[in-house]
C-alpha cells in the first residue's frame, strides 16, 4: 500500500514538473507589451494618420482576444482609440490606430492586453433601403453615397459617387435619411452636389476611346469593417459589356476618421482595360486643377445653390501606370492601366467651403496635393 502511494506521488510530481516545464517553454519570448515606433521623415505635418499593424506582428503577446487590446501613446501615457480590422474575414487581419505627428519627428506607442475604453464611433455606413438602396457612408468630416440597382430607370437616376457636405463632427447619415430633406441645410450640412450620369466626386469606370462605360448600379454589398476608426465595404456589379467582351467589377471602399478622402480599389476579371477615374465639371463656372507630377485632378465650383457655398472634389491615382490626365466636356480624368492583379487603387474625396476647413480653391488644392505627397512619403513604422 505504501509502495503504491509513493508511486502515485512520484507520478504526480513528474507530471507537475513536465507541465511546468512546457508552460515556461511556451511562454518563453512572450512580452507583456509591444512598442511601436512611428517616424514621420517628411516635411508634412500628419494629423489623424492611420497606423496599421499586421495581426501576425502581435504574436509575441501570446494568445489574443481581439476585444481586449489597448494602444497607449507613450508620450502622454494615455490610451488612444484603436480598431481590430477584419477586412470581411472571420479572423483579425490587423489593428489600426491614429496619430498626430509633426514633420521630421518620432513617437512611440505600445500595444498590450487589456480591456479598451468604449470610444465613440467616428465612421458609419449602411444600405439605405428606404431610398432605392443607396449605400451611404461617412466619417466625422464628410459623407458620401453610391447608388443601388433599385434606382435604375427612376426619376433622379444617377451613376457616380455623391458627396454630402458636412459642418459637424457628428454622424448624420441616419438622421438625414429620416428627415428626408438633406438637400436643405438644417445646420449640419447639405447634399448640394449634383452627380447625374457622371463619375460625380471621383468614381472610376472602364473607358473605350472617349466613352466611359458605366455598369448597372451596384447589385449587392458587404460591410467589411464598421468603426470606430474605419468603415470599409464592398460593392458588386452585374457583368457588363466593355469593348465587345463581358466584364465583372467589384469596388472596395474605405474611409478613416479625420480624412476627406476614401481609398477605392476597383477589381475586374480582365486585365486589358483602361480605367478612367475622375470628377465632374458642372456648369463650367469652376476652377480645374490637373497635376501630373502629383498624380491628381481636382475641381472647385459653386454648390447647387449659391447659399450653399463652394464644393471641392478630387481624385489621386498613386501609380506609375497612368496613361493620361485630361479634361473633357464633363470630366477631369486620370486614365490608367490595371495592375497585375486586375486592380486600380486610387483615392477620391471632397471638401466644403462652409465646413470651416477650406476657405477657397487654393486651400482645397493644397489639401489634395499634400495628401498625394503624403502617400509618397508614408510613416515609417517599426515594432520592438
Asked if residue 384 has pLDDT above 60, the reply is yes
Mean pLDDT for all residues in the chain: 93
**pLDDT tens for each residue of 25-81:** 345 668 899 999 999 999 999 999 999 999 999 999 999 999 999 999 999 999 999
Share of the chain above pLDDT 90, in %: 89
Task: Give the model's pLDDT for residue 27.
Answer: 52
Smallest CA-to-CA distance from 296 within 280, 275, 319 is with: 319
CB crowding 360-376: b at 16 or more within 10 Å, else e = ebeebbebbbebbbbee
Task: State residue 18's pLDDT score.
Answer: 41
pLDDT band at residue 10 using 50, 70 and 90 as cut-offs:
very low
Q: What is the pLDDT of residue 284?
A: 72
pLDDT tens figures, 215-231 = 999 999 999 999 999 99
Does the pLDDT value for residue 380 go beyond 70?
yes
Q: Is 20's pLDDT higher than 90? A: no
Q: How far apart are CA 104 and CA 107, in angstroms?
A: 10
Does 355 score more than 70 pLDDT?
Answer: yes
Q: For residue range 294-350, what is the model confidence (pLDDT) as tens digits?
A: 999 999 999 998 899 999 999 999 988 899 999 999 999 999 999 999 999 999 999
Q: Is the pLDDT of residue 21 over 50?
A: no
For 103-125, write each residue's pLDDT tens digit: 999 999 999 999 999 999 999 99
Model confidence at 4: pLDDT above 90 = no
Please give the pLDDT value at position 6.
43
pLDDT band at 17 (very low <50, low <70, confident <90, very high): very low
3-state secondary structure the chain: CHHHHHHHHHHHHHHHHHHHHHHHHHHCCCCCEEEEEEEECCCCCEEEEEEEEEHHHHHHHCCCCCCCEEEEECCCCEEECEEEECCCCCCCCEEEEEEEECCCEEEEEEEEECCCCCCCCCEEEEEEHHHCCEEEEEECCEEEEECEHHHCCCCCCCCCEEEEEECCCCCCHHHHHHHCCCCCCCCCEECCCCCCCCCECCCEEEEECCEECCCCCECEEEEEEECCCEEEEEEEEEEEEECCEEEEEEEEEEEECCCCEEEEEEEECCCCCEEEEEEECCCCCCEEEEECCCCEEEEEEECCCHHHCEEEEEEECCCCCEEEEEECCCEEEEEEECCCCCEEEEEEEEEEHHHCCCCCHHHHHHHHHHHHHHHHCCCEEEEC
Residues 92-107, mean pLDDT to the nearest whole number = 98
**Topology, domain 33-119:** Immunoglobulin-like (2.60.40)
Closest CA to 234 of 217, 210, 251: 251
**CATH class entry, domain 123-379:** mainly beta
Which sequence spans correspond to the domains of the chain? Answer: 33-119, 123-379
Identify any residues that bridge with 252 across adjacent strands, giving them in sequence order.
234, 265
> What is the pTM for the complete model shown?
0.92
Give the three cell numbers for residue 166: 458636412
Q: pLDDT tens across 241-261, in order?
A: 999 999 999 999 999 999 999
Amino acid at each position: 500500500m505504501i509502495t503504491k502511494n509513493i508511486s502515485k506521488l512520484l507520478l504526480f510530481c513528474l507530471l507537475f514538473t513536465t507541465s511546468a516545464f512546457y508552460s515556461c517553454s511556451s511562454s518563453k519570448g512572450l512580452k507583456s507589451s509591444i512598442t511601436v515606433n512611428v517616424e514621420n521623415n517628411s516635411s508634412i505635418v500628419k494629423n489623424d494618420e492611420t497606423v496599421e499593424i499586421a495581426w501576425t506582428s502581435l504574436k509575441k503577446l501570446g494568445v489574443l482576444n481581439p476585444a481586449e487590446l489597448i494602444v497607449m501613446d507613450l508620450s502622454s501615457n494615455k490610451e488612444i482609440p484603436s480598431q481590430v480590422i477584419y477586412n470581411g474575414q472571420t479572423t483579425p487581419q490587423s489593428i489600426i490606430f491614429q496619430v498626430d505627428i509633426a514633420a521630421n519627428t518620432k513617437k512611440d506607442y505600445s500595444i498590450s492586453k487589456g480591456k479598451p475604453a468604449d470610444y465613440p464611433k467616428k465612421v458609419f455606413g449602411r444600405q439605405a433601403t428606404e431610398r432605392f438602396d443607396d449605400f451611404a457612408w461617412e466619417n466625422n468630416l464628410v459623407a458620401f453615397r453610391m447608388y443601388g440597382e433599385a434606382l435604375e430607370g427612376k426619376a433622379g437616376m444617377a451613376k457616380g459617387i455623391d458627396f454630402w457636405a458636412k459642418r459637424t463632427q457628428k454622424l448624420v447619415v441616419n438622421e438625414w435619411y429620416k428627415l428626408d430633406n438633406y438637400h436643405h441645410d438644417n445646420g449640419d450640412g447639405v447634399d448640394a452636389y449634383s452627380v447625374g450620369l457622371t463619375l460625380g466626386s471621383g468614381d472610376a469606370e472602364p473607358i473605350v476611346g472617349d466613352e466611359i462605360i458605366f455598369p448597372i448600379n451596384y447589385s449587392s454589398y458587404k460591410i467589411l469593417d464598421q468603426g470606430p476608426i474605419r468603415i470599409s465595404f464592398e460593392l458588386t456589379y452585374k457583368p457588363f459589356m466593355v469593348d465587345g467582351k463581358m466584364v465583372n467589377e467589384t469596388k472596395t471602399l474605405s474611409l478613416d476618421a479625420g480624412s476627406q478622402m476614401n481609398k477605392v480599389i476597383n477589381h475586374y476579371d480582365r486585365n486589358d482595360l483602361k480605367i478612367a477615374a475622375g470628377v465632374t465639371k458642372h456648369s463650367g463656372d469652376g476652377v480645374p486643377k490637373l497635376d501630373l507630377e502629383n498624380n491628381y485632378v481636382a475641381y472647385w465650383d459653386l454648390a447647387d445653390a449659391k447659399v450653399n457655398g463652394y464644393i471641392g472634389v478630387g481624385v489621386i491615382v498613386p501609380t506609375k501606370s497612368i496613361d493620361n490626365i485630361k479634361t473633357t466636356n464633363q470630366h477631369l480624368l486620370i486614365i490608367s492601366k490595371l495592375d497585375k492583379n486586375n486592380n486600380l487603387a486610387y483615392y477620391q474625396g471632397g471638401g466644403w467651403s462652409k465646413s470651416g476647413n477650406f476657405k477657397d480653391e487654393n486651400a482645397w488644392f493644397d489639401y489634395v496635393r499634400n495628401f498625394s505627397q503624403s502617400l509618397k512619403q508614408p510613416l515609417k513604422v517599426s515594432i520592438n
